Structure 1
Amino acid sequence: MHRLVRTALFAFSCVVFGRMTGAAVPAFPGAEGFGANATGGRGGEVYVVTTLDDSGPGSFRDAVSRPGHYVVFAVGGVVKLKSRVDVASHLTIAGQTAPGGGITLYGNGLSYTNADHTVTRHLRVRMGVGGDSGRDAITIAEGHDMIFEHVSIAWGRDEVFSVSGRHPRNITIQDSIIAMGLHPHSAGGLIQTNGGVSILRCLYIDNHTRNPKVKGVGEFIGNVVYNWGGGGAYILGDSASESFVNVTHNLFIAGPSARTAPFARGNTNFHIHALENYFDADRDGVLVPVLIPPADYTTVSFREERHPYPTVARLLSPHEAFAHVVAHAGASRVRDALDRRLIEELVSLGTLGQIVSNEHDAPLAGIGHVEGGVAPLDTDGDGMPDAWERAHGLDPHVQDHNEDPDGDGYTNLEDYLNSLVKSPRKTDRGG
């Protein structure tokens, strides 16, 4: 029976890998992993968010309630969510367009269940004690082809970011911050699906447990995990079902709350390809990564060759992974007070950090202030500022956002969105 399961999952992974290395245009330059080919709102209309109100015309809630368009922002600041938001499918949510300090959603969470082919970038989701009890800051229970890049998620009341339910598939979370799950269940996330989840170059910080907890098919590459509590950092399977996971080039750093080793609860049903994972346990303010030996992965089934999942171009040394998340993780175009605090904790290398039950627990001060700013002039409302259009030979009085004159597969609007947040790239070093 186990051999049949392994064969089926291997066949699935080959199909996914073949699909992702074909002719499809990635969601944006630098998109990687299982969700890299999400199409977002490509080819659709443009919805401009013009208000910080919770609902109504021009609101974020209204913008994501219907499928098939780009969501751009003419306002920055905090949207106080009175209830959860259900995100529709085939959307590009371009948080990088928000002026001032960017855009923050606070007070409740988001469901991406059945939000197929969504692309979400540079968005902050801060749930908090006012959110629905027993719910995640972001949940995916079903659906396929989604990518989250440079998102900052915190203060979930159950998990912070979970992908678990009715077979969600082809999901990527990259270059993001998953932080401060609130007690009594402070948890980074449950990643449980045979559909494929890639977690790449993210920072998990100040979650008591599940940084993340993983079952099924996935990859965890180039991440930094800091200051987990007694519940543990990376939780391996912990069930009778089989898992097939690549875990490579990650860095675990003990903080003031960390009381366990990086890996916990493995069993022989967890088939892991593990390579170049490091632990700095000293809490002494100096980064001295030590290679994690095989015995410290607990009881697992080691696989010498990597599972044939999508290729990740940037394989980082521990010092490179640390520097990358310090500089780039989360909605880092303009970091808010919480993300600045989290990075301060990380660079303390063991001397700062806490696991909280309320977003107002010291030394935090709640959501804080996010500057509004002024959006650039966009006469035709096609998401591209007049000045950018003129500089690129376009007509600021004609909605030409879906044209592709250079033939690269990205629309004019996507070219503009991508120009705002060009990602650093690194050459593949194998593994």
Structure 2
Amino acid sequence: MVYKINSLEDSANPGDGKITYRECALALSVTSPYQIPAGRPRYCVFEVSGAIELQSPAFIQTPHIYIAGQTSPGGIEFRLGANYAPADSLIDTRRGGDHAIIRHIRARLGEHPDRPSPNGDAIRWNSTNFQIADHVSAMFGTDESFEGGCQTCTVQWSIIGPNICRDAGHSSTSFHCKTFFFKPAKDLTLAYNLSQHGEQRGINIAPGSFPFNYGEEAQIDVIGNFVYNFVQESGLVSNQYAHPIVNYISNTTYEGPRFVTGGNGNFGAALYTNVDTFGHGFRINAQDNISPFNSSTADFKGYFGFFKGTTPGSVCNASNGLKDCSVTGLDVVRSGRMVSARGAARNWLQSWMLVDYRQAQRNVLSFAGADRCRDGRCRDNVDEMFIEDVQTCDRSPRLFESGWTSTVAATGGYARLRSTGGPSVDSDNDGMPDAWENQFSGTNANVWDANDDPDGDGYPNIEEYLNWLANDHTRYRDIYNSGNATLPPYNCGKPRR
């Protein structure tokens, strides 16, 4: 089914002629302006531009949904509405929303000091499977900006953080400043993202499954990410749920104005072992990563260290599903060969998707975040501000130089989204404009043929259109070497630690 969203209202009245995001997210029936049955797989396409302020939870509980922000004439931003109490996540698949794709969407929560909650996440994927977030801008959370616990999932080309940290509405503390967190997760890829500005959880991963499966090997691939300005936990990999089998390739961690050493171990990735519960080892491949602790990628172990309280002797190798303490400490980190978990799904990473860390930096700064709309590129003012802040991180003024903030306004504000025009003519309401359908022999502008696949490539017509809008036909072989953004100097001009 195709929900052609024609209103920014957060409402659900099947016969009012308005089709809303809430109706699509919840898979509700619509009777006007055309019929949509309830409970079906669906595409959320947007004929409007601007902010959707959610006034209550819109948890995605019916599986198979594609939220296509690239269809909007000027972009879509989800925000926390004034009546959403207690505050909770904006885009949330934690209760059955498997098989979800989110592309070119902004999810920016905001403060809620009068509505305390422990769950103020911009995006949350807990206990779900088969999720993709591509070119998403997830910010201004009060718990995390992106929290996940999922299997067979990908977060790529996205901007995660900052949070709203001080007196912003977290129910357990007046100060909560954590950003990007996956626990537990397996068959997960985190690629070409910018994770920025927080006390903890720059990229925090705990490979594994829930319920707990003792002895399991769980794989995560961490590729080409840029982590910037975390105080005491830029990265962490934990063995509390399984043997972590992790590929770290071409990632960057740089200091910002809030960065400190010590604390919990502020490394590119700090190893954490839960010695009081189950015995799991680590198997890590590291290639071409850079951080304040290794100015040369040849020092591949220098990207790693130990979380506070974790001793080198407690970190053991993982071999064939067993903890192998003949290899300990940073010797569990090796270089040069991809590692794979036993029984893992096929690893789709190809050699042409992997570039050196400097090109990965250019790619992230050039393309990360929600940057495509119906009529072309549309990176908004908020993302532009944060990208420029990274590019100029070697000099003042820097964002958060004087401390963390309590409001969205003090953090730079919400997006200023501008539409490039009204809805495209779509005579058959299949989500594909007549002008686009008329270009091809396999589509008919007068027949509802969104689900047809005339070329047999596995992508129905509607997804061919959505991929075309996202510029996938020219981007996704060339994108890995085409980023040309200006880069900051090594470690934002600060010397190696």
TM-score interval for Structure 1 and Structure 2 normalised by the shorter chain: 0.7 to 0.9
- The runs of 5 or more residues in structure 2 that have no matched partner are 14-18, 28-39, 81-88, 166-174, 208-217, 274-280, 306-328, 341-345, 373-377, 482-497
8 Å contact from structure 2 (residues 290, 296) kept in 1: yes
Aligned length: 374
1:225-272 deviation line (CA, Å, top 9, x unaligned): 1122x2221112175853221111111222222223433541464432
Of 188, 197, 203, 1:212 maps to: 203
Q: Which runs of structure 2 are paired with 1:21-60 in the superposition (5 Å)?
A: 45-57=1-13, 58-60=19-21
Whether 1:222 aligns to 2:207 is: no
Identity %: 30
- Inter-partner Cα distance in structure 1 for 2:477 and 2:456: 22
1:246 corresponds in structure 2 to 247
Task: Return closer, same or farther for 1:413/1:189 CA change in 2, 3 Å cut-off.
Answer: same
Task: Return closer, same or farther for 1:267/1:401 CA change in 2, 3 Å cut-off.
Answer: closer
- Inter-partner Cα distance in structure 2 for 1:59 and 1:350: 44
- Inter-partner Cα distance in structure 2 for 1:320 and 1:143: 32
Task: Return closer, same or farther for 1:99/1:215 CA change in 2, 3 Å cut-off.
Answer: same
Of 250, 263, 279, 2:291 maps to: 279
Whether 1:307 aligns to 2:359 is: no
8 Å contact from structure 1 (residues 279, 292) kept in 2: no
- The runs of 5 or more residues in structure 1 that have no matched partner are 1-44, 283-287
Q: Normalized against structure 1, the TM-score is what? A: 0.80
Q: Name the amino acid aligned to 1:310.
A: N
8 Å contact from structure 1 (residues 222, 249) kept in 2: yes
1:18 corresponds in structure 2 to none
- Inter-partner Cα distance in structure 2 for 1:338 and 1:141: 27
- Inter-partner Cα distance in structure 1 for 2:418 and 2:164: 26
- Inter-partner Cα distance in structure 2 for 1:428 and 1:63: 33
Deviates more, 1:302-311 or 1:246-255: 302-311
- Inter-partner Cα distance in structure 1 for 2:269 and 2:467: 39
1:294-320 deviation line (CA, Å, top 9, x unaligned): 145114422454222613231121221
SS at match of 2:147: strand
Q: Which runs of structure 2 are paired with 1:256-267 in the superposition (5 Å)?
A: 256-260=257-261, 261-263=266-268, 265-267=270-272
Q: Which runs of structure 2 are paired with 1:364-379 in the superposition (5 Å)?
A: 364-372=411-419, 373-379=421-427
Task: Return closer, same or farther for 1:405/1:205 CA change in 2, 3 Å cut-off.
Answer: same
Whether 1:203 aligns to 2:171 is: no
For residue 180 of structure 1, report the CA deviation from its aligned partner.
Answer: 0.3
SS at match of 2:98: coil
Q: Normalized against structure 2, the TM-score is what? A: 0.70
Of 52, 58, 67, 1:79 maps to: 52
1:124 corresponds in structure 2 to 106
Q: Name the amino acid aligned to 1:207.
A: G
- Taking only aligned residues, the RMSD between alpha carbons, in angstroms, comes to 2.5
For residue 414 of structure 1, report the CA deviation from its aligned partner.
Answer: 0.9
For residue 156 of structure 1, report the CA deviation from its aligned partner.
Answer: 1.0
1:297 corresponds in structure 2 to 304
For residue 356 of structure 1, report the CA deviation from its aligned partner.
Answer: 3.4
8 Å contact from structure 1 (residues 175, 200) kept in 2: yes
- Inter-partner Cα distance in structure 2 for 1:427 and 1:128: 32
Whether 1:188 aligns to 2:179 is: yes
- Inter-partner Cα distance in structure 2 for 1:415 and 1:189: 31
Q: Name the amino acid aligned to 2:139.
A: A
Q: Name the amino acid aligned to 2:291.
A: F
Q: Name the amino acid aligned to 2:182.
A: I
SS at match of 2:438: helix
